[in-house]
């Protein structure tokens, strides 16, 4: 099983600041990586797929990068609606999720 | 628009069974693989099971293999998860999710339902 490790567990950021979230795979997943956003009481929502392609409805301040085992989700200027939990998921070999990074207001 | 609506959750005693459903609309249900993903209270996401677009292939996480069965009814546009021999650690919100690629393959999940809570407790 491919283990996905996200860091940090919690990220405290002020509105308008930049947030950088990391996701590491225990073995290469090529670019077969997705990011999901989950707000309290809601289902996860697809944010990024193919490591760097933004899903419909998300603004350009969200960007994904990386390949192989190291991936990054960057939110360039946090808005109030961006405070949520973010999960990475590999789909190269079955499907596994990271444990999530909570982005909270500083 | 794509809609996935789960139902059937509730409180069940350990060792008993429960079936949850997911009604799909807004896309050609028979063309896409479908998944179940669960989330224990306050925890992260865990993939549970997948069924191919035509129902011919089914795969499960080790944690539920032999106890859970995924199925689909194309005529009703509905996905099911039959859960037997339930344990306290199966307590979670169960989400159905649509595979992004018609025909299958290992891909991401582009739409999720709102989830249904299953609580296993005596």
Half-sphere exposure of A3 (CA within 13 A, CB side): 2
Q: Compare all CA atoms of chain A with the CA of B107 and give the residue at the minimum distance.
A: A91
- Reduced to 3 states (helix: H, G, I; strand: E, B; else coil), residue B112 is strand
B18-24 mean pLDDT: 98
With beta carbons less than 8 A apart as the criterion, state whether B9 and B118 touch: yes
Token pair 């018609």: residue: B102
Distance of CA A84 to CAs A33, A44, A50, Å? 19, 10, 21
Q: Compare all CA atoms of chain A with the CA of B60 and give the residue at the minimum distance.
A: A94
Other Cβ atoms less than 10 A from the Cβ of A34: the count is 27
B72-76 mean pLDDT: 97
With beta carbons less than 8 A apart as the criterion, state whether A31 and A50 touch: yes
Other Cβ atoms less than 10 A from the Cβ of B22: the count is 26
Gap between the Cα atoms of B72 and B24, Å rounded: 11
Provide the shortest C-alpha distance from residue B69 to chain A (in Å): 17
Question: Which residues does chain A have within 8 Å of residue B46's beta carbon, measured at their own beta carbons?
Answer: 97
Digit-coded pLDDT (tens) for A9-65: 999 999 999 999 999 999 999 999 999 999 999 999 999 999 999 999 999 999 999
With an 8 Å Cβ cutoff, are B112 and A98 in contact? no
Show which residues on chain A lie within 8 Å of chain B, measured between beta carbons. Answer: 32, 34, 36, 42-46, 49, 55, 87, 89, 91-100
Mutate to test the interface with A, among B45, B92, B93 (most CBs of A within 10 A): B45
Percent of chain B topping pLDDT 90: 95
């Amino acid at each position: 099983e491919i283990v996905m490790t996200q860091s940090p567990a919690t990220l405290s950021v002020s509105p308008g600041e930049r947030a950088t979230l990391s996701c590491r795979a225990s073995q290469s997943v090529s670019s077969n990586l997705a990011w999901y956003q989950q707000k309290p009481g809601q289902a996860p929502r697809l944010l990024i797929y193919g490591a760097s392609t933004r899903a419909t409805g998300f603004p350009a301040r969200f960007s994904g990068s990386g390949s192989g085992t190291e991936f990054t989700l960057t939110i360039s200027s946090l808005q109030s609606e961006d405070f949520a939990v973010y999960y990475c998921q590999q789909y190269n070999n079955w499907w596994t999720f990271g444990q999530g990074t909570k982005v909270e207001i500083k | 628009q794509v809609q996935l609506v789960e139902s059937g959750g509730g409180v069940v005693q350990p060792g008993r069974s429960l079936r949850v459903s997911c009604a799909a609309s807004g896309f050609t249900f028979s063309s896409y693989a479908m998944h179940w993903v669960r989330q224990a209270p306050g925890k992260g996401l865990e993939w549970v099971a997948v069924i191919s677009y035509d129902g011919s292939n089914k795969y499960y996480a080790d944690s539920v293999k032999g106890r859970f069965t995924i199925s689909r009814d194309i005529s009703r546009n509905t996905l099911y998860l039959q859960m037997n021999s339930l344990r306290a650690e199966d307590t979670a919100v169960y989400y159905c999710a649509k595979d992004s690629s018609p025909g299958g393959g290992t891909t991401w999940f582009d739409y999720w339902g709102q989830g249904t809570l299953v609580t296993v407790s005596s």
